[in-house]
A and B are shown apart, each in its own frame.
Chain A
Amino acid sequence: MEKNQPKGWLYLLPAMAFLGAFLVYPLVDVCVYSLEEGYNFASQTYWGVGLYNYSYVLRDPYFLQAVKNTFLLVIITVPVSTGLSLLISLALSSVRRLRELYQTIYFLPYVTNTLAVGLVFMILFKRTPYTDGLANLVLSWFGVAPIDFIDGPYWAKMLVLCLYTVWIVMPFKILILTSALASVDPTYYNAARIDGTSKLRIFTRITLPMISPTVFYLVITGFIGAFKAYSDAVALFGVDLNAAGMNTIVGYIYDMLYGDAGGYPSYASAAAIILFVIVLTITCINLSVSRKHVHY
């Protein structure tokens, strides 16, 4: 047993300095900002303390639009991506040949620049005077009239955003689910096979209960991640998301902070705290649901 080594603090010092300056202090500060009414960035003055910033943000149509977009995105992409990744992971764990190749391919979106691939999605879906784009070409085979997915109707834009979001989040989910599936002791499957259990029953009665903690983990992190959506939207619709009507809550925060409409850290702070409260609430609900359904 070593004696006390106060120099341990010395080793921690850099980490604590960085975290203190760029994580803890800002956390406190953001709450202060959100309560300072009429804060002026240039003169650093404010004329009151109160909840005005919150009420302003909550009445701002851009913010409400952003909330609507974000919620839609969350509600669509989390179940779709979780379900799809579960399906693909199951398929992946049931084969042996080419498995590594598939796994490698599936992970690619994780390591690519969101902005860069977003541009590719944009040109696939965009209608220009020169071409209807590849997506519309495919749709035309089914007799669908061309749609501008990037500058067109709201639902089309939302569809592309959801597609792209799902494409981006799948690698992480597939990776986590395949490793969860691999950790299920194969003798359970052998035991079930001996007893003549059907594939579907094996899935619902054995596999799913056994990986349920992982599935809930993915749902929870999926919710959190989707609520923070921003750069995918920027990649598809450009920086002026308000104009495109496709802003997200995080996008609204950054726009308030900086950019054409920026310079209002107080509004940004209030919006950030509202977002934090939403995410916290949803996470708590998720956790309480998962407690009820995860048995061991």
Chain B
Amino acid sequence: MNVTLQNLTKEFPGRGKKQPQPVVAVKDFTFRIPHGKLVGLLGPSGCGKSTTLNLLSGLQKPTSGRIFFGEDDVTDLPPEHRGVGLVFQNYALYPHLTVKQNITFPLENRKGKEKLTKAQMAQMALEAAKLVQIQELMDRRPGELSGGQQQRVAIARALVKMPRILLLDEPLSNLDARLRLQTREEIRRIQRSTGITTVFVTHDQEEAMSISDLIVVMKDGVIQQTGAPQAVYDDPANLFVARFLGNPPINAFAGDIRGGQLYLGGEAVLQTPGLPDQPVTAAVRPEGFLPQADGPLRCAFRGVEVMGRDVTILSAHPDHHAPVIRAIVSAREAAAPAGDNVRFALKPDKVFLFHRDTGERIRF
């Protein structure tokens, strides 16, 4: 089932004297989630991604705009009738109920014709538990489980009622680093095997990039860019997206276009044919640097971080926005720099130019 968000806007009323203006959490959000995809809503905290999730679940109502599940306009439908499964950031497992009781809880709510027998409910709970591999934990209480296990129970509880879409709010943020890697693969596997259209929210770009079919990058309630993770990474629409994706982060310089060339610190480093003269922000991915003895970009050498297959060269440049430039090069290419400086050539497809003022992309 496709999910369509059409011009969604959510405003929160201002609160008294301290904050008289209404706060716009989500602004004119339009996006179509294709059936069976795993979509990551990505952005810094306060960008409106959680609000978007709440609008999808029905816990909050949009100020304007529509939401469609398939052909159904569900905008005004209360959450219990939407058929969504929601996994909360803190899991919201009922502490006084066992794992099994937690999982069957949504099923027990059904009334009338949809009412299930005890045996049916037990069967469905067991299937959901098997899917997330917690069938041995059914009689424990949430307090006796590890964070990762609680997460699985929460997913099982969301899946047991066969939701039309599955929503996950920061699913990995309460887990430690090792579990995080493991669990994100798990989420991917569960989503694949059930084929349920899934939306999850995260502030961690690596998390979103690694498992999503599509990502939606948000800032201040506005969609910045949508697309497949690699496509967005390779072709960011603006400086914000370029900076937000990628680890180590992109290296941004203050540069100038003069006579069809990009100048960084007085040196022409890249051909930019056909671009008018203007001040720009030039951003270079860490993997966009090629160390060359006669490379045009000269930086002050600061050190080397060895990571096995790759090497990070640390350097500095007066026009760079941050104190350190990180260039990732393969160990082979990392010739020891001569003297205090290191010189780079730039790979054109790893360099992005943006308007100095607006941050919008300038293509060349």
CA distance A201 to B80 in the complex (A): 14
User: B90's contact among A187, A205, A296, by CB below 8 Å, is which?
Assistant: A187
B63-71, B81-89, B353-361 - interface stretch: B81-89
Instruction: Check if A210 is an interface residue, CB within 8 A of chain B.
Output: yes
| B273 smallest CB distance to A (angstroms) | 55
A190–B92 touching, CB < 8 Å: yes
* Residue B59 lies at the interface, judged by CB distance under 8 Å to chain A: yes
Q: Complex Cα distance A196/B110, Å?
A: 8
Q: Across the interface, do B96 and A197 meet the contact criterion of CB distance under 8 Å?
A: no
Known: A205-B105, A295-B96. A185 touches B90 (CB 8 A): yes
Within 8 A of A (CB), among B138-176: 141, 143, 157, 161
Residue of A nearest to B83 (CB): A196
Q: Mark A187-205, 1 if CB is under 8 A from B, else 0.
A: 1101111111110010001
Q: Does A209 contact B (CB under 8 A)?
A: yes
Known contacts A193-B79, A194-B57, A194-B86, A187 near B92 by CB under 8 Å: yes
Residues of A within 8 A of B80 (CB): 193-197
Most chain B beta-carbon contacts within 10 A, residue among A194, A201, A205: A194
B92 and A185 within 8 A (CB) = yes
Chain A, 223-252, CB within 8 A of any chain B CB: none
User: Complex: how many Å from CA A198 to CA B78?
Assistant: 13
Within 8 A of B (CB), among A202-224: 205-206, 209-210
A-B contact pairs, 12 of them (CB 8 A): A185-B90, A187-B88, A190-B86, A190-B92, A191-B88, A194-B59, A195-B80, A195-B105, A195-B109, A196-B79, A201-B109, A210-B95
Q: SS class of chain A's interface: helix, strand, loop or mixed?
A: helix
Report the minimal beta-carbon distance from A172 to chain B, rounded to whole angstroms: 26
A185 CA / B90 CA spacing, docked (Å): 10
Contact of B96 among A191, A196, A198, A210 (CB under 8 A): A210
B90 touches A191 (CB 8 A): no
B-side interface mostly: loop
Chain B residues whose C-beta falls within 8 Å of the C-beta of A198 in the assembled complex = 109
Interface range, A side: 10 to 19
A28 CB to closest chain B CB (Å) equals 44
Q: Do residues B105 and A193 form an inter-chain contact, with CB atoms below 8 A?
A: no
How far does the alpha carbon of A159 sit from the alpha carbon of B204 in the complex, in Å?
64
* Residue count of chain B within 8 Å CB distance of chain A: 27
- B-chain residues with CB within 8 Å of residue A193 when the two chains form the complex: 59, 78-80
- Report which B residues bind A (CB closer than 8 A): 57-59, 78-81, 84-86, 88-90, 92, 94-97, 105-106, 108-110, 141, 143, 157, 161
Tell me which residues from 137 to 196 in chain A have a Cβ below 8 Å from any Cβ of chain B.
185, 187-188, 190-196
Q: What are the nearest 9 A-B pairs in CB distance? A: A196-B80, A195-B106, A191-B92, A187-B92, A209-B96, A295-B96, A194-B86, A196-B109, A187-B88
Q: A193-B59, A194-B80 are in contact. Are A296 and B95 (CB under 8 A)?
A: yes
Question: Shortest distance in angstroms between B163's beta carbon and chain A's nearest beta carbon?
Answer: 9
Chain A's closest residue to B163 (CB) is A194
Say which residue of A188, A197, A295 sits within 8 Å of B92 (CB atoms).
A188
Please encode chain A, from 37 to 58, with 1 for each CB lying within 8 Å of some chain B CB and 0 for all others.
0000000000000000000000
Interchain CA distance A82-B108 in the complex, whole Å: 29
Query: What residues on A are CB-neighbors of B58 within 8 Å?
Result: 194
Q: B164 → chain A, closest Cβ, in Å?
A: 12
| Complex CA distance for A188 and B157, rounded to whole angstroms | 13
CB nearest neighbor in B for A294: B96
Residues on A with C-beta less than 8 A from B110 are 196
| Chain B: CB-nearest residue to A210 | B96
Measured between beta carbons, the chain B residues less than 8 angstroms from A206 are 94
Chain A residues near B81: list those with CB within 8 A. Answer: 196
A194 touches B85 (CB 8 A): yes
Which residues of B have CB within 8 Å of A190? Answer: 59, 86, 88, 92
Rounded to whole Å, the gap between the CB of A200 and the closest CB of chain B is: 11
Give, as a whole number of angstroms, the nearest-CB distance from A22 to chain B.
43
Chain B CB count within 10 A is highest, among A196, A198, A296, for: A196
Give the complex CA separation of A295 and B95 in angstroms: 9
Expressed in whole angstroms, the minimum distance between the Cβ of B362 and any Cβ of chain A is 44
Task: List, in ascending order, chain B residues with CB within 8 A of A188's CB.
Answer: 92, 94
- Complexed CA–CA distance, A185 and B86 (Å): 16
Query: Given A185-B92, A196-B109, 4 more contacts at CB 8 Å?
Result: A190-B92, A191-B86, A195-B80, A206-B94
CA distance A206 to B105 in the complex (A): 11
Contacts of B57 in A (CB 8 A): 194
CA distance A195 to B212 in the complex (A): 26
Report the bound CA distance from A295 to B94 in whole Å: 12
Closest A residue to B167 by CB, please name it.
Answer: A194
